[in-house]
Amino acid sequence: MKFYLLGKLNVANPSAIAESIIQKWEREGIIKYLGEQNDVRPFIESSSCVVLPSYREGAPMVLLEALSMGKPIITTNVSGCKELITPKIGSMCQAKDSVSLAKSMSKMLHLSPRERMQMKQNARNFVLTKHDKRLIVERYINAAQIYSLS
């Protein structure tokens, strides 16, 4: 099992993981920090699941990207994230709770090959039926038309 960390280190955010801790984890072989990436697709593709243990999110694009590529997700019960998760496509843990996160990750690791495959199919179908750009544009146009009629 390998853990890869992608993204910018937010040293100005007091709730972010300190750069020194990330460097320590890297020295200890716990994670591999890959920094900011312009194209996350190759990293998502090579992953068995995507984990976003966020403290708060607006629209978690990385989760939508992962789901669109048929990857199960693990995320926290915060606004933005919790609206995307169901037990059929991943696991939700408590924010700021490393024990809860570890349990969710362990649960994912212990899925049978059949369960894992079903979760991957469910992830892809979830995005296609709920978050496809065409559907969102259509909903937006319908809402705009309803609003302009009133």
Q: What number of other Cβ atoms are within 10 A of residue 74's Cβ?
A: 22
Beta strands 50-52 and 73-76, pairing class:
parallel
31 and 84 inside one domain = no
One domain, residues 136 and 66: yes
* Same domain as 80, residue 12: no
What's the pLDDT tens digit per position in 67-92? 999 999 999 999 999 999 999 999 99
Instruction: Quote the tokens at residue 52.
Output: 């976003």
Helix, strand, or coil here: 78?
Answer: coil
Per residue in 32-70, pLDDT (tens digit) is: 999 999 999 999 999 999 999 998 888 899 999 999 999
| Maximum Cα–Cα distance across the chain | 62
Tell me which of 2-6, 26-30, 132-136 is least confident.
132-136
Q: Which two tokens stand for residue 88?
A: 């059929």
- Please give the backbone phi and psi of residue 76, each rounded to the nearest 5 degrees, phi first: -100, 165
Phi-psi category of 44—alpha, beta or left, where left has phi over 0 and alpha has psi -120 to 50? alpha
125 and 99 share a domain? yes
User: What's the pLDDT at 108?
Assistant: 95
Q: Are residues 67 and 4 in the same domain?
A: no
H/E stretch holding 6:
strand 4-6
Structural domain of 144: 47-149
CATH number of the domain within which 103 lies: 3.40.50.2000
Kindly report, residue by residue over 91-141, the tens digit of the pLDDT. Answer: 999 999 999 999 999 999 999 999 999 999 999 999 999 888 888 888 888
Other Cβ atoms within 10 Å of 69 Cβ, number: 17
Q: pTM for the complete prediction?
A: 0.85
